[in-house]
Amino acid sequence: MTNLSVNINKVATLRNARGENVPDVQKFAVDCEAFGANGITVHPRPDERHIRRSDVLLLRPLVKTEFNIEGYPSPEFMDLVLKVKPEQVTLVPDAPDSITSNAGWNVVENIDFLTETVEKLREAGIRTSIFVDTSVDNIRMAAKAGADRVELFTKPYADNYSTDPEGAVAPFIEASNAAHKCGLGVNAGHDLSLQNLRFFHDNVPYLDEVSIGHAIIADALYMGIENAIKAYKDCLNKE
């Protein structure tokens, strides 16, 4: 079974645009779980332009499935996650001003930093996932760093799916097989959608979890969040 973690950053973006508490981010997370989400993902950034530090603290006791916090492991981020102790932390190499995650780690060049970071999280009992591209070298080094999982950066797949689905998914099949051989779990995320998710899921082995935010919230504008979650979970069932 592949789990669906709903990234609620965009809900916080909408709330922040008005400056009050509509929509209610905490209630939205609880409702997502009630509608079938297997987890909740947030990515607090230093400027708090969507998810705020205070949101993370309020969400911790409410999330009953799996809480996944993404972010660059700055001292401030590490202080937050070590206090909150989510089930999973996903380490991403974002610069503070990045609009969204747009690349995986060069694990080879950052092995000492990532190893030290993973060790701190492990000591706190937190599962760690490292955000990577499909480079087998990076995946092997993620295992060497002590990570429990990798999250495959799927934008290249999404960009090429419509013109060459088999070619687009091939590197991810290889990457997932490599991760499995290294003893790593496999997550995936970025630009996965109702258009491309089923094909990805049906072809990529050992897929533990997909994290989807922008597309599922956009679809919810038309479908409602309950129906959107159901549609995405349907894509994660083998035909």
The residues annotated as belonging to the active site are 43, 70, 190
Q: Using the Cα atoms of residue 230, residue 217, residue 61 and residue 100 in order, give the sign of their dihedral.
A: positive
Q: Is there a contact between 4 and 31 (Cβ–Cβ < 8 Å)? A: no
Q: For residues 206 and 176, is the Cβ–Cβ distance under 8 A? A: yes
Q: What's the Rg (C-alpha) of the chain? A: 17
Name, in order, each residue with C-beta under 8 angstroms of 132's C-beta and a sequence gap of 6 or more. Answer: 104, 105, 107, 138, 139, 142, 150, 151, 152, 153, 175
**How many angstroms separate the CA atoms of 20 and 207, rounded?**
38
CA distances (Å), origin 211, targets 3, 70, 83, 124, 191? 8, 10, 23, 23, 10
Place of tokens 């916080």: 12
CB atoms within 10 A of CB 71: 23
84 Cα distance to chain centroid: 17
